[in-house]
Amino acid sequence: MKRLVQPELLDTLPPDDPRARRSRRDLHRVNAWMRNPALLARALANHWRAPAPRQITELGAGDGNFLLAVAKTIAPRWPKVNVALLDRQPIVSSATFAAFTSLGWRAEAVVTDVFAWPPANHDIVITNLFLHHFEEPRLAELLRLIVARTRLFVALEPRRAAWPLFCSRMLWVIGGNEVTRHDAPVSVRAGFSGPELSALWPDRKGWQLTEQSAGPFSHLFIAQKTT
């Protein structure tokens, strides 16, 4: 299946549009069924060997609830982590910030385009269902920014394959709204398979790369700095 990047409806809607709010709620359920929070938590535990990181940054963080679900698993082992939730839209709620605080983490929203991401030291950078929005030249540019800013990068993306595509067309069964039903197959067709992200990574010598299918529907990419 050839990779095809097309616009997703959720990206075109104002954040307070009722259809957008409903689709974000659908995405919480979809992430849970994909097991992405558990997959991300396991990848972090297996690949960050130092003491607890000081900073985790999520690119394309949306409402922040994905990283919050991850934090609920790993906060007992990683106390006092600072979290940057980077997105173009300011949609992280006060309840979500409070939930991070209750775990002993400090979260802040960084409202900016990812290509205007301020240079800083980010121990860990993560993305979830975000990289597939970009065609290869723009994606390669983003990966170059990530290389310069972190020691561990973990990305979970749709797996581009027949079974995930079939299931993405069945979200009407669980009540997914029209935005979710449109965007899910678009996301899968724009997803990844094989070593496609590894091939775009700009520094093959200084990093250990892992790329594989994960869970029933996901594609996992991990880049860990070795020098």
pLDDT, tens digit (0-9, with 9 covering 90-100), for 100-137 = 999 999 999 999 999 998 888 789 999 999 999 999 99
Tell me how far apart the alpha carbons of residues 171 and 3 are, in angstroms, rounded to a whole number: 21
Considering the domain boundaries, does residue 2 fall inside one? no
* Whether pLDDT at 50 is above 90: no
The predicted pLDDT at position 227 comes to 80
List the CATH number of the domain containing 140: 3.40.50.150
Report the amino acid identity of residue 26.
D
Is residue 84 within 8 A of residue 59, CB to CB? The reply is no
* Whether pLDDT at 46 is above 90: yes
> CA 212, 84, 41 angle in degrees (round to 5)?
35
CB atoms within 10 A of CB 75: 18
Considering the domain boundaries, does residue 3 fall inside one? no
Considering the domain boundaries, does residue 215 fall inside one? yes
Count of structural domains within the chain: 1
pLDDT (tens digit per residue) in 8-34: 999 999 989 999 999 999 888 888 889
Tell me how far apart the alpha carbons of residues 218 and 159 are, in angstroms, rounded to a whole number: 5
The predicted pLDDT at position 171 comes to 85
Considering the domain boundaries, does residue 122 fall inside one? yes
* Whether pLDDT at 174 is above 80: no
Mean pLDDT over residues 145-165, rounded? 96
The predicted pLDDT at position 49 comes to 82
The predicted pLDDT at position 104 comes to 97
pLDDT (tens digit per residue) in 190-227: 999 999 999 999 988 899 999 999 999 999 999 999 98
The residue among 154, 145, 89 whose CA lies nearest residue 120 is 145
Considering the domain boundaries, does residue 221 fall inside one? yes
Domain containing 121 equals 9-225
The predicted pLDDT at position 149 comes to 93
Q: Between the CA of residue 64 and those of 47, 48, 195, 210, what are the distances in Å?
A: 22, 22, 28, 25
Considering the domain boundaries, does residue 170 fall inside one? yes
The tokens describing 205, both together, are: 């010598």
pLDDT (tens digit per residue) in 68-100: 999 999 999 999 999 999 999 999 999 999 999
